[in-house]
Amino acid sequence: MTMKTLEIFSGAGGLAKGLEIAGFEHSYFVEINKDACESLRKNFYQHYVFEGDILEFDLNLLEDIDIVAGGPPCQPFSLGGKHKAHQDNRDMFPYAIRCIENLQPKAFIFENVKGLLRDSFSQYFNYIVLRLMYPHCTICDKESWEIHLKRLEKLNPMQYRGVHYDVSYKLLNAADYGVPQKRERVVIVGLRSDLDLEWNFPSATHTEDRLNWDKFVTGEYWEKHNISSRKNIELSKLLKSKYGFFPPEGAPWQTVRDALLGVPHPKDKHDIPDHIFKGGAKIYPGHTGSEIDQPSKTIKAGGHGVPGGENMIRYEDGTVRYFTTYEAKLIQTFPKDFIVAGAWSEAMRQIGNAVPVKLAEAIAKQLLATLQVKQVDKSFQRTINSYAVVSR
């Protein structure tokens, strides 16, 4: 059975691509940025793209939406932003909740920045979670969110008559799921309570210890890249003491060098259209780039262009240059043929705002497996019932 999704605040489609790879089918995308909409059309052309304000999108166009997914704009909660949260008119969580209220999907996935969990936002984050749990307990005209929060906190799930969701959230590091980037994001998942399902976030598959083991115990990392082995005796001793003769479980964190294996230097001759060299990269305090033999720093969008420190590659000799759009796309684990529309700064903005595809895929596969448990149970029960009828 096909599971249909609505993507809101879709951006270039990182979360959407992960859902698609996992087996979900897109029904609509809602996105206001014209370049991001062009990216969506180029990569998901067979599906609908609504370019405009989410307030203007007619939810009545949709039928039988199983999943609502998206990344409500994160500037109100960003560590690099103005930290206004609910006072910021870019806070789109209320509109995400409106979609849940109207469509009553089986589940939802929302992603946001780590700053959402800051102590200063804790009360408002609690409000967001409760609104997602009880979407039909709507805010009244002229009612403040603080008063509404008090009403929500007093709700008794047994007496609440609207649709109810079991909501979980967790801070995930994309590097732990095979993304060559240290990127911590809050992921919020809700399951409609009448489905009686239990959600567990997918287990990490990659570790820093395994990367360091392959570098400094076996040297496999350097051999793979055909470069001279480098030693770290202290770390090697520490790892051997911790794990003995056996390597740490799981795969190694992926590095920038891993992500760009086989990719020519942008100044070399090649036929990759979005792999164009951009000069002007410089090092200064707090602006040092991403080490080539580590997962990259978090690729960022930036409020006024791109903060190049995170979007530079730093080679072993200390030199730096900007990532090309193509390289940043690979670091965010988009497919090589994924098209990001717009000039370099706009394309990097879209890439920096995206959910890494591999992280999205891991979450989506876990969600699909969870939802299919219920389908298998129902199918099994129908078989048992049919057998019982025949037996009579």
Residues 207-261: tens digit of each pLDDT: 999 999 999 999 999 999 999 999 999 999 999 999 999 999 999 999 999 999 9
pLDDT category, 46, cuts 50, 70, 90? low
* Predicted TM-score (pTM) of this structure: 0.90
How much is the average pLDDT of 174-180?
A: 98
Residues 284-327: tens digit of each pLDDT: 888 889 999 999 999 987 544 445 567 899 999 999 999 999 99
Contact 109/15 with Cβ under 8 angstroms?
yes
37 labelled catalytic: no
Instruction: Give the closest residue to 162 by CA, choosing from 96, 95, 69, 100.
Output: 100
| Residue count of the chain | 392
Residues 203-219: tens digit of each pLDDT: 999 999 999 999 999 99
Q: What is the DSSP letter of 15?
A: H
Comparing 4-13, 33-42, 152-161, the range with the smallest average pLDDT is: 152-161
Contact 310/299 with Cβ under 8 angstroms?
yes
Quick check: 185 pLDDT over 90? Answer: yes
Ordered by start, the domain boundaries in the chain are 4-204+355-379, 206-342
Q: How far apart are the first and last CA of the chain?
A: 31
**Separation between Cα atoms, residue 255 and residue 236, nearest integer Å:** 19
Contact 106/191 with Cβ under 8 angstroms?
yes
**Separation between Cα atoms, residue 199 and residue 167, nearest integer Å:** 9
DSSP line for 129-173: HHHHHSTTSPPPTT--HHHHHHHHHT--TTT--S--EEEEEEEEE
CATH of 4-204+355-379, one of 3.40.50.280, 3.40.1790.10, 3.40.50.150, 3.40.309.10: 3.40.50.150
So what's the pLDDT on residue 161?
85
The better pLDDT of the pair 86, 147 is held by: 147
Among the options 37, 74, 99, 140, which is catalytic?
A: 74
